[in-house]
Amino acid sequence: MNPPLWHLMRYLRIERGRRVCRAQEHVEDDWFYFCQGGAEAHAVALTREFFVEHQESGLVRPGDRWIVVVHPLSRRWAPPDKKLCEVRVWVPTPEEVVWGADIRERTA
């Protein structure tokens, strides 16, 4: 059986301790199932692209904390019925992005 091709990615920014959905997108991508490091690693890579694309809009600011949830879909506009993965990430400063900082959330 082939893995699902369509996925819904939800970008939830942590605001005052609450998850607030600030964006979502449908992606046609089955690399979640083949990527070295698994679905989480691929979600982090796509999230990095999302951060770069939205830096100038003000949606993404250095220091923000986000949770990204990926749902497999049976077809493009089907409602999500399960979760493939969830990753916690943070937005690095522009200098950290240039140096390839890991965007996974830091733990103390």
pLDDT per residue as tens digits for the range 36-68: 989 999 999 999 899 888 888 889 888 899 999
Average pLDDT taken over every residue of the chain: 86
Domain spans of the chain, in order of start: 6-98
Q: Please tell me the pTM assigned to this model.
A: 0.84
Alpha-carbon distance of 16 to 39, in angstroms, equals 28
